[in-house]
Amino acid sequence: MATSKYLAFDFGAESGRAIVGILDGGKISIEEIHRFKNKQINVFHNYYWNIFELFEELKTGLKIAVRMGHGDIQSMGVDTWGVDFGLIGEDGQLLELPHSYRDPRTEGMMEKVFEIIPRDKIYEKTGIQFMELNSLYQLYSMKKMNDKLLKSAKRLLFMPDLFNYFLTGKMKSEYTIASTSQLMNVNTKQFEKKIFSKLGLPYDIMAPIIQPGEIIGKLLKKNSEETGIGDADVVAVGCHDTASAVAAVPAEGENWAYLSSGTWSLIGIESDKPIINKNYEDDFTNEGGIGNKIRFLRNTMGMWLIQRLRSAWERDGACFDYVDIANIASKAEQFKCFINPDARIFMNPSNMEEAIDEFCKRTNQECPKDKFGYARTIYESLALKYKLIIKMIEEVSGKKIEKLHVVSGGAQNEFLNQLTADATGIPVLAGPIEATALGSILVQAIAAKKIESIEHAREIVRRSFDIRIYNPTKTEKWDEMLEKYKSIIA
């Protein structure tokens, strides 16, 4: 197998990175060449993403690739978080900065939509978890506010589709990112016209859907000249970051689940077809996957809770990295109190400690006593939420989960991984860490016909990266705590 190079741009809600992947001799290696911060902009109580600054960081990554001897990349791919979008006008320009999914404009919009289309009918068509931040409610909020930009829009492009447009001039909507919107029919894999029609939303602004592995186009000449990158393809990878992360799960067999652990925790299984029934009542979602798979999963809050805790501490002059936080949490009192990570109070609090205190008071629990306790409360609550979700997946799918693959940044959290193994009672296999970028690279290699399939790609991952195994211990106490936890979050 000849050596080939690919470039992945992975944009997260807290940071972004550019990573080169080198496929050589049946193994793959990766090299991070650029990392940068990403943060929301707050203007007049609305939250936005500065996509122009992020695109400049993307081009900086291309320039660094050239300087580091990687100007010969075969292709590049972009992935981001889901649901958020920008609107393109008739002149091809972005009409405004994309709103963040944490923007308050969607408050109460789900209920307004349900007055027109019942919940079960929406779920029957889309298979997507009901979350106030979904693109459906963002778009409907614009209609309700009589937003003039919606009337001026020629195209709606989700975040990775915007980057691909800036790179190539082509306006396409990649399947896995489109699937997160709650605007796409999970069976036809096309945007659902009936939803647009009943809600009075403009269907013609939606871009054609393309599948992961399709080549969108060549890098625009102006981008090529500015960055020094040659005649590279831009590939539609799993443009939703979790889709790319799941593609890099080094799994074998069938009885496994994945946990993509980052700002959000996405825990689920791969399925050949959507699992609909009444799973919307348990907040399960059927998102598009790579290789014609469905990612049947539950989306729950993740490291966002720790991120906000850390930022509050920093404002008070106490600076800790994430390893420090896990270490201090391991020394705190066990099972003192629990939180529901998905409670609205934790969506975007200015002070996470105060939010935890308020939740504990509401649920008649003692509040944590110190920083150690707040962090441990979060980690234990996450582990119990994972245990609960896995049990629910087993009940709905009929599949017995025998191991859990943890990928992405959370794979580095040794304390949480061990808590998760103890809570779930099954082995936790952690790694690779940069699964999202790695999945993007693997899909690019499949598009270039250097890798035969997703199964072949996962074999290469197993061959190329060390996976750490956490075996469960002391599981009996966690079974007892699950019942307490369920009563608290009910």
**In-domain check, residue 258:** yes
> For residue 169, which amino acid is it?
G
Write down the pLDDT at residue 231: 87
Residues 225 and 257 reside in one and the same domain:
no
The residue among 167, 200, 235 that closes a domain is: 235
Burial class from Cβ neighbours inside 10 Å (0-12, 13-18, 19+) for residue 392 reads middle
Residues 203 and 269 reside in one and the same domain:
no
- Per-residue tokens: 196: 């647009």
CA gap 161, 177 in Å, rounded: 9
Residues 72 and 12 reside in one and the same domain:
yes
**Mean predicted confidence (pLDDT) in 147-157:** 96
Write down the pLDDT at residue 282: 80
pTM to 2 decimal places: 0.89
Residues 137 and 258 reside in one and the same domain:
no
Residues of the chain with pLDDT > 70, as a percent, come to: 99
Number of domains composing the chain = 2
The residue among 235, 258, 292 that closes a domain is: 235
Write down the pLDDT at residue 14: 86
**In-domain check, residue 444:** no
Write down the pLDDT at residue 148: 94
Write down the pLDDT at residue 306: 96
Residues 297 and 197 reside in one and the same domain:
no
Residues 127 and 20 reside in one and the same domain:
yes
- The pLDDT tens digits for 87-119 are 999 999 999 999 999 999 999 999 999 999 999
**In-domain check, residue 477:** yes
Residues 70 and 12 reside in one and the same domain:
yes
**In-domain check, residue 447:** no
Residues of the chain with pLDDT > 90, as a percent, come to: 91
* Alpha helices by DSSP H, 115-217: 119-126, 135-144, 148-152, 159-168, 175-178, 193-199
User: Considering just the CA atoms, what is the radius of gyration of the chain in Å?
Assistant: 22
**In-domain check, residue 242:** no
Write down the pLDDT at residue 261: 93
Write down the pLDDT at residue 104: 93
Q: How confident is residue 13, by pLDDT bands cut at 50, 70 and 90?
A: confident
Write down the pLDDT at residue 230: 87
User: Strand runs (DSSP E) across 39-170, as ranges?
Assistant: 40-43, 46-49, 75-79, 85-89, 153-158
Which residue in 10, 79, 161, 241 is the catalytic one?
241
Write out the H or E segment, with its range, that includes residue 347.
none
**In-domain check, residue 363:** yes
How is residue 145 annotated by DSSP? T
Residue 158's domain is classified under what CATH number?
A: 3.30.420.40
CA gap 53, 57 in Å, rounded: 6
Residues 230 and 300 reside in one and the same domain:
no
- The pLDDT tens digits for 242-262 are 999 999 999 998 899 999 998
User: Strand runs (DSSP E) across 348-454, as ranges?
Assistant: 403-407, 428-430
Write down the pLDDT at residue 446: 97
- The pLDDT tens digits for 448-470 are 999 999 999 999 999 999 999 99
**In-domain check, residue 77:** yes
**Which whole-number Å values give the CA distances from 305 to 159, 192, 323, 376, in the listed order?**
23, 34, 15, 11
Residues 143 and 256 reside in one and the same domain:
no
Residues 330 and 385 reside in one and the same domain:
yes
Residues 348 and 472 reside in one and the same domain:
yes
Write down the pLDDT at residue 476: 86
Write down the pLDDT at residue 279: 67
Write down the pLDDT at residue 253: 87
- The pLDDT tens digits for 304-356 are 999 999 998 998 899 999 999 999 999 999 999 999 999 999 988 989 999 99
Q: How confident is residue 204, by pLDDT bands cut at 50, 70 and 90?
A: very high
Catalytic-residue membership of 422: no
Write down the pLDDT at residue 1: 58
The residue among 235, 267, 286 that closes a domain is: 235
Residue ranges making up the domain that contains 298: 249-431+452-490
Burial class from Cβ neighbours inside 10 Å (0-12, 13-18, 19+) for residue 364 reads exposed
pLDDT at 237 over 90: yes
Write down the pLDDT at residue 348: 87
Residue 159 contacts by C-beta under 8 Å, 6 or more apart in sequence?
Answer: 11, 49, 51, 80, 81, 84, 85, 86, 98, 177
pLDDT at 164 over 70: yes
**In-domain check, residue 487:** yes
Residues 230 and 255 reside in one and the same domain:
no
* Average pLDDT value over all residues in the chain: 95
pLDDT at 385 over 70: yes
